[in-house]
Amino acid sequence: MAGLIVLGVVAFVLFMFVMQAVKIVKPYQRGLIEQLGRYKTTTDPGLKMITPFIQKLIRVDMREQVIDVPPQEVITKDNVTVTVDAVIYYEPTDPQRLVYNVANFILAITKLAQTNLRNVIGDMSLDAVLTSRDNVNVSLREVLDDATDKWGVRVVRVEIQRIDPPNDVMDAMHEQMKAERTRRAVVLEASGDREAAITRAEGEKESRILHAEGVKQEAVLNAEGEAQAIREVADADRFREETVALGEAEAVRSVYQAIHDGNPTPDLLAIKYLEALGVVADGSATKIFLPTDLSATLGSLGAIAELFGGDDGTTPATVPPAPAPQDHVD
């Protein structure tokens, strides 16, 4: 029975020894092995064996970490007190220095960030702080990165979460922003009215130009139409006159040929002349003018008769004496 107890105790001691000797380092960790209180080596991730009660394994997380810096009041260059809240992102680079060079890294970097926030923002005016957060972030990151390099840490970035000015300053800023928005609205409205007026004026100008071009085109077309009509009417009148002239010429030739063929006597011509005068006297005219020298006229008729009758060698008859001429008949 006693042997079993001793065997059990030995087995338990061996089990505890193995449990203390076998260590596992995860992929995002690095292991620091201490032997009798002194640093011995740094191990990579994996299964590690140490000597219990003589060696000790310290695991260091190498992932990027974030620290929230508590809000604090900072006085700007123009003596305005603002409340600043920031966060710090850091990444361990040397686990040995991170463990042995600083006792409380979180507290140390927090206090360091608060102190440097006062220094960086204290050299800037309120407007610069509010409008240049990126500059504050970059300046603070550079200062913290230089200070934490001996701790085996690299500061990745620093972000300012909030910058809260006092209430009276906030009210003044709100009024200023409201006035600026009102000014921009007025400027935009005036610019819109100006653009609309320009657009309307250009539209009216284009409309007038198009209307004038239309009127001009209409006048040109009307003038061309009238000119074409005048040319056509003139051509028609010329054709009609030519046709009438040709007809009259043909009629004259026909009459002349008929008179020539009929061999008229002076007596016949005188009778036709008197018949023509009678037709004229029967017209609607109130006055009829007769030739003053009727004998001369009859003599002319005799000459015409001689002209038409001279072809056959006959002597035309003697034209009787004409009556005495009269001035006019009412």
Query: How far apart (Å, rounded) are the C-alpha atoms in residues 79 and 73?
Result: 12
Distance CA 230, CA 320 (A): 55
pLDDT tens digit string along 193-210? 998 999 999 988 988 999
> Of 67-76, 215-224, 293-302, which gets the smallest average pLDDT?
293-302
Q: What is the mean pLDDT of residues 160-188?
A: 85
| Among 122, 163, 158, CA closest to 141 | 158
Residue 108 pLDDT greater than 90, yes or no: yes
Tell me how far apart the alpha carbons of residues 165 and 87 are, in angstroms, rounded to a whole number.
Answer: 19
What is the C-alpha to C-alpha distance for residues 310 and 258, in angstroms, rounded to an integer? Answer: 15
Q: What angle do CA 327, 329, 330 make, to 5 degrees?
A: 130
Phi, psi of 289, deg, nearest 5 = -100, 130
Rounded to an integer, what distance in angstroms lies between the CA atom of residue 163 and that of residue 36?
Answer: 50
- Percentage of the chain modeled with pLDDT above 70: 78
DSSP string, 42-102: EE-SEEEE--TTTEEEEEEE-S-EEEEEEEEEEE-TTS-EEEEEEEEEEEES-HHHHHHS-
Q: Give pLDDT tens digits for 219-268.
A: 888 888 888 889 888 888 888 888 888 887 787 777 667 766 766 666 66
**What pLDDT is attached to residue 310?**
46
Residue type, 22: V
pLDDT at 136 exceeding the cut of 50: yes
pLDDT in tens, 72-97: 888 888 888 899 989 999 999 999 99
Give me the percent of the chain exceeding a pLDDT of 90. Answer: 25
| β-pair type (29-35, 46-49) | unpaired
Can you tell me the mean pLDDT for 312-316?
44
Task: Please report the pLDDT score of residue 2 as a whole number.
Answer: 73
| pLDDT band with cut points at 50, 70 and 90 for residue 300 | low
Distance of CA 7 to the CA centre of its chain: 94
